[in-house]
Structure 1
């Protein structure tokens, strides 16, 4: 839908973006990880481009090679940015031992590493979706570089 005053408002004020997760108090890390890994819009676009998102670092490299056709679509850009950030977080959580999703009191999901460092993957996803830099594979490499045993396959608990 193209509404001229809305487009002008967005140019002046920017797009609101973000993801919030709220709970009734019970914290199920597996359930949160599963919920945040859905990323339907990103998975659909990757599938159309012939890319399999298998929660690996290699899939991040493949995403970095996509032509950024979505940047012209003001409607889907913030949603795609959310999905990209959540997918990046899912790859980190599933491949780096000890990494887990942390939900801030305001509902914002971040990834917490064993070092205590918190990564705002949603903000990183929005930056990547809008500019392509830094690359997702580069972000992953930087995150995993400082973590002990990040190069080892993650074991299931």
Structure 2
């Protein structure tokens, strides 16, 4: 039996529970979550195949921006690669900008909060970069470093 409002309720409830679990994991083991988000296996594999080793530095974001976007030929890979790019961008920001850290929005979306309180949806930026090339990852980092 298909009851539309029940499906919507379950979806929202699952998202709220997932967001709560992720927020609890961040509070309990922020370094562990940082390491998990830093894995970015697909992005690292694509970079490696182009001769680029990602070292979690701001310079590596500039190097990623220079890659030929061959992944755009495969629309199924692009969003996944973009998700990894967002997590990688967040990783670089956390490692390079004092006071930056992962937070979770109520919808379950991980994001970066800067020491100033400003919030950045790095995953959205990464997906946009993978799909269109804009904003450049190095540009998103530069804006974050300004506070």
TM-score band (shorter)?
0.7 to 0.9
TM-score normalized by the length of structure 2: 0.82
- The reply on whether 1:55 has 2:56 as its aligned counterpart is yes
Structure 1, residues 40-62: CA drift from partner, whole Å, max 9, x if none? 00000000111111100000000
The aligned counterpart of 2:137 is 136
The aligned counterpart of 1:46 is 47
Query: Relative to structure 1, is the Cα distance of residues 100 and 24 closer, same or farther in structure 2, using a 3 angstrom cutoff?
Result: closer
The aligned counterpart of 1:155 is none
Q: Is the 8 A contact 2:111 2:119 kept in 1?
A: yes
The aligned counterpart of 2:24 is 25
- The reply on whether 1:80 has 2:86 as its aligned counterpart is no
State the shift of 1:68 in Å.
0.5
Q: Which has the higher helix share?
A: 2
Alpha-carbon separation, structure 2, partners of 1:141 and 1:46:
21
Alpha-carbon separation, structure 1, partners of 2:96 and 2:36:
17
Query: Relative to structure 1, is the Cα distance of residues 102 and 74 closer, same or farther in structure 2, using a 3 angstrom cutoff?
Result: same
The aligned counterpart of 1:70 is 71
Alpha-carbon separation, structure 1, partners of 2:121 and 2:128:
11
Structure 1, residues 113-155: CA drift from partner, whole Å, max 9, x if none? 0000000000000110011112111111111023xxxxxxxxx
Structure 1, residues 42-88: CA drift from partner, whole Å, max 9, x if none? 00000011111110000000000000001110111110010000000
Alpha-carbon separation, structure 2, partners of 1:120 and 1:23:
16
State the shift of 1:24 in Å.
8.2
The unaligned stretches of length 5 or more in structure 1 are 1-19, 147-157
Alpha-carbon separation, structure 1, partners of 2:103 and 2:146:
20
State the shift of 1:23 in Å.
3.6
* Greater Cα offset, 123-132 or 100-109: 100-109
